[in-house]
Chain A
Amino acid sequence: MIPGVPIPAATVNLIGTVIAAVLTLCVFSYLLGIRALYRLALHILIGAGVAYAVIVALSTLYSRVWLRWIDASARGDMGLMGYLAFGVLLGVLLLFKISRRASGLGNISTGYLVGVGLGVAAGGALTGTLVTQSIATATFTGTSPAAFFIGLLGTLTVLISFTFTATWRRGPLKAVAQLVQGLSAAGRFFLYIALGTTFAGVYVASVSVLIGRVQFFIPLVASVLKYLGIE
């Protein structure tokens, strides 16, 4: 870690472990009402993550732009160089978002990013989720007719539950509104089931994270106790 200073790996791991344990306890202090340590740990996490992200971004810029630019210039690949220059230009323009007056220049890069991203995402969502899932729902046969009926009913009612304009209270449309409201209620029932399932998964995931942290502390505590002579 420190140039010229040989530090055993075990020591480094130990220091890392201790720091992690301390930060973990700081997070656990939230349960005791000690918000300051929790905030400290949270700020360290956010700060470290942002710093690491900046370093990664600079590293990526170096490896994916600068080195490639040098390689392209060495090979005389103007196309690649132009491609890289265009990317660099968009990145520089994006930096003008910092200034209030010159933020308009950054709108070029922002527009490019949003446009490309939206196009890719929209195409993927359309072809990867909406169409395929719709086809899959329509052609779902399942193992039994009941499963098929429940699946179809659930899908339709959930979609109908997102109808908020059927509020007619008079005339022939009143019956339509009542039908829509009934189906919406059934769709909300299926939604509640789906949300509950999601909650269960989140709970299991959270418990799993807790288990992992506890499993991290157990050897450490055992080591401390063994060091202190407490078996």
Chain B
Amino acid sequence: MTAASPEPKPSETHVVKKGLSLPTKPSGESPATGPAARARPTPPAPTPPPAQPATPGEADDWLSRLRGALPAEQPAEAQPPAGESVPDWLRDLEGEPSVPGAQAVTPVFDLAARLGGVEPSEPAPTPAEPEVPDWVARLGTPATTKPSAPIEPQVPDWLKPPAPAKLSAPAIPPVEPEAPDWLKPPSPAPTPAMEAEVPDWLKQPPPAPSEAEAPDWLSRLAPTPAITEPSAPAVSPAESEVPDWLTQLPSVPMAATPSAPAVLPVESEVPDWLSQLAPTPAAEEPSAPVESPDWLERLTPPTAIPSVPSEPEAVPSIESEAPDWLAQLSPLTVAPEPEVAPVAEPVEPGPALIGEQIPEPEETPAWLADMGGAQPAPSAPVLTEMPDWLKELETKPSPVQPESKAEPPSPFAEPVVLPTGETPAWLQELAPTEAAAPAAGVLAGAPMPPAPGEGGLVAAQLPSWLQGLGPKEPSAVAPPKVEEEPAETEGILAGVRGALPVAQIALQMSGVGISVSPEIPAGDLSRAGALQELLARGMTAVVRREGESRAGRMEGKVWRWIVLLLIAVAVVTPLVLGPDLSLVSAPSLSPMGNAMYDSIQKLAPGAQVLVAFDYDATQAPEMDVVARAVMRHLIARQAHIEVVSLYPTGPAVAQVMINNILPTTSTVKMDVTNRSYLPGQTTAVATLVTEARSKPLDMVIELAATPDSLRWWVEQMAGRPETLLAGVSASVEPVAQPYAANSQLKGLLAGVPGAVAYQLKLRGVLPQTEQQNPSDLLVPLNSIAVANVALVFVMIFGGVIQLLSGRGSPSGDGRRRG
């Protein structure tokens, strides 16, 4: 419904009736109807009752009762203007109301049909019900408990026949020219003129006797036949459209008055019967609770529910433009039960209906807000009667983080405090009980209904399935503690908490740490195995080239075997053949060898000679030959020999050699002293050569199988008078040559070839019995010679093959040819 032209103020007594004409309120009462009421959007219209032919007698009865119920001192504002026809139903409402306190209402339209969005059907005959409908009965104001004096039907403007094309709400059906039968007044049949003026929608049949067809809420809201508007204005027959009061209802928010119900905007067209029904803001008394629907009450927080008169339908004051009967539907204007405590205690609503959304206070429809009168501010936490759920929505922030897992604030967390007032029975049934409020947790079983005096409402016995849907007590079912998840610190999700907790989810899913087992390439595995093998076996491990095939490895093995066999044959054959194989001639002693020979030869008998056996058992096969030659010469010279060693196993090797240097039959005396092992290496040499001796050393002979020991002696013997001679291995000879060339070494004997040559030269010094056959001395040289030739042959042959094939070179990379 949209507000149309501004309505005259309620102070005006002259009420222009348009369309529906409801009983006007008594004097002093603010009209509950008016532009605001007219502008109020029409609620969803229930299914209209079926059009039933109303018997004239029945219709007349309840209408007459309605007329009687209307107070006599209904202001004249309800009087229809001259020339306007009062609808029959409205006229009837001016009669004596059958229910005390009820006011006569002039039924001039089929409210059920209008609200149901159904065009009013043919004027239905008046219902056969003799009694006035409840909604009609409740339309009477508490103050209007007056003898039902016949009231002049004064059709207010808003009750007048609707003006052409003023429909703003789809729920408001077009006004029909014919008035319903049930609204037709029982008393004298309407004049033709009046009938002509009665809009169709006013001529709709009254509510059907069968309550099953009409919605319950409507049936309960239907006024009693006895309720009549004292000054129900006549319905203008000329108007057949939506009543002005419906169309002109503005969406004006109702002022919150804790002590007054939601008042409707003042309107001059408010019928008297309606104004009479509406309780004054100051004169309202506690009355029976209005049977307003629960859903209506929950839509708007109940402000201080005023004390509504005892009439079940306390019409709101004339201050608002909404009709009183509609204002009674608002939870803000629900009048408390007579036996209920003052209106300040709103009744907590029960669990919300399934699927029903409890809107915010600001979401209250305008028409309802207008009806309800005082609409609480969106943030009106101070209202004691405000339902808890509404308070939570308005004031309290969300108790948990947005990403928490806590339950969202349920609109059913707190029971909705229903305002006290006359609520229909069916609403009372749905009202929640205080004891079974959702704050108690999940409703299990049938909740205990509160005492009737508590909150003015009686909680209905909700079925178990409905109870389970109720709001839960926050304390009973505390939301799970949600640990604040870490917030992301970088990226596009910076500041967002709980974003992509992959690690947590993975851990929760697996329950253990994340195990990572990457795929290792086969090449890496092979290289790792080769490295491991190399470390395990040391330098003797065979290192394979990368990319070497099996055939390549076999080829390498074959060549290695060939070389091995060749060298083995070369070495073993001369040894097996013995001295008969004369491959080499007697070698000549090198100059350094001759110098050594001469140095020893110059020794006087008893000369102090220090001989250092600096080799171990692994070099003994070669070094023993050298050592034997030197030692034999020293023995022949009858020198005092001191045997030392810088190696731990040196003394043992020396002793073995000393034990086997002379034949068992030799009569030569040997003055040899084994001083054993000298630790310290280079420091031992320095200590040895500088120690105090009874007899100074004449000569030092170093028998070295490694360059280090030779270097130690050479370096420590630098500048000393002792003669330093060295018998070295063939591998040490290149290192010893510079020292020999620099005269740091007075003599040098290197390897088996030098030792053999030295022995051949020593044969002249030794006794005859100890002189060996020179051919026997040459046998090792034959093996060495043959082995050298074989090595040379292998090297040359292998080099040629390598050059021709390109393998083994840095650029070859194992390529094969042919």
**Co-complex (A, B):** yes
Q: Residue on B with the closest CB to A136? A: B742
Pair A211/B571 contact, Cβ less than 8 Å? yes
Q: B272 CB to closest chain A CB, in angstroms?
A: 110
Chain A contacts for B677, CB-based, 8 A: 56-57, 60
Q: Residue on B with the closest CB to A55? A: B648
Chain B contacts for A202, CB-based, 8 A: 730-731
Range class of the B interface residue count: 35 or more
Given contacts A124-B712, A212-B622, A218-B576, contact A53 B718 (CB under 8 A): no
Q: Which residues of chain A from 172 to 231 have a CB within 8 Å of any chain B CB? A: 194, 197-198, 201-205, 207-216, 218
Interface mask (B662-673 → A, CB under 8 Å = 1, otherwise 0): 000000000000
Select one of A49, A133, A201, A211 contacting B621, CB under 8 A. Answer: A211
Select one of A63, A128, A133, A215 contacting B575, CB under 8 A. Answer: A215
Given contacts A56-B676, A133-B742, A211-B752, contact A125 B649 (CB under 8 A): no
Identify the stretch in A101-109, A114-122, A157-165 within 8 Å (CB) of chain B at 4 or more residues. Answer: A114-122
Chain B contacts for A17, CB-based, 8 A: none
Select one of B564, B751, B791 contacting A201, CB under 8 A. Answer: B751
Pair A128/B716 contact, Cβ less than 8 Å? yes
Interface mask (B784-804 → A, CB under 8 Å = 1, otherwise 0): 100110010000000000000
Residue B460 at the chain A interface, CB threshold 8 Å = no
Q: B80 CB to closest chain A CB, in angstroms?
A: 115
Pair A120/B571 contact, Cβ less than 8 Å? no
User: What is the interface of chain A mostly: helix, strand, loop, or mixed?
Assistant: helix
Q: Which residues of chain B from 454 to 510 have a CB within 8 Å of any chain A CB? A: none
Pair B715/A125 contact, Cβ less than 8 Å? yes
Q: B156 CB to closest chain A CB, in angstroms?
A: 108
Chain B contacts for A212, CB-based, 8 A: 620-622, 624-625
Residue A149 at the chain B interface, CB threshold 8 Å = no
CA distance A132 to B741 in the complex (A): 11
Pair B715/A56 contact, Cβ less than 8 Å? no
Residue B230 at the chain A interface, CB threshold 8 Å = no
Chain B contacts for A52, CB-based, 8 A: 648-649, 652
Pair A207/B649 contact, Cβ less than 8 Å? no
Residue B734 at the chain A interface, CB threshold 8 Å = yes
Chain A contacts for B620, CB-based, 8 A: 212
CA distance A18 to B575 in the complex (A): 20
Q: B646 CB to closest chain A CB, in angstroms?
A: 12
Residue of A59, A202, A207 contacting most chain B CB atoms (<10 Å): A207
Chain A contacts for B622, CB-based, 8 A: 205, 208-209, 212
Q: Residue on A with the closest CB to B744? A: A132
Residue A10 at the chain B interface, CB threshold 8 Å = no
Residue B172 at the chain A interface, CB threshold 8 Å = no
Pair B621/A208 contact, Cβ less than 8 Å? yes
Q: B60 CB to closest chain A CB, in angstroms?
A: 118
Pair A59/B649 contact, Cβ less than 8 Å? no
Given contacts A124-B682, A203-B791, contact A211 B783 (CB under 8 A): yes
Residue A31 at the chain B interface, CB threshold 8 Å = yes
Pair B621/A204 contact, Cβ less than 8 Å? no
Pair B564/A31 contact, Cβ less than 8 Å? yes
Interface mask (A110-143 → B, CB under 8 Å = 1, otherwise 0): 0000001100110011011100110010000000
Q: Which residues of chain A from 51 to 76 have a CB within 8 Å of any chain B CB? A: 52-53, 56-57, 59-60, 63
Given contacts A60-B677, A128-B744, contact A208 B784 (CB under 8 A): yes
Q: B651 CB to closest chain A CB, in angstroms?
A: 7
In the A-B complex, list the 6 residue pairs whose CB atoms are closest, starting with the nearest. Answer: A212-B621, A128-B715, A124-B715, A53-B648, A128-B718, A208-B622
Given A124-B718, A128-B718, 18 more A-B residue pairs with CB atoms under 8 Å apart are A31-B564, A52-B652, A57-B648, A57-B679, A117-B680, A124-B682, A129-B715, A198-B734, A201-B751, A202-B730, A205-B619, A205-B729, A208-B622, A208-B751, A211-B571, A212-B624, A214-B572, A214-B783
Between A and B, 25 residue pairs with Cβ closer than 8 Å are: A49-B617, A49-B649, A56-B651, A56-B676, A59-B676, A60-B677, A117-B683, A120-B683, A121-B715, A127-B718, A136-B742, A201-B750, A205-B729, A207-B571, A207-B784, A207-B787, A208-B622, A209-B621, A210-B571, A211-B575, A211-B780, A212-B620, A212-B621, A212-B622, A214-B571
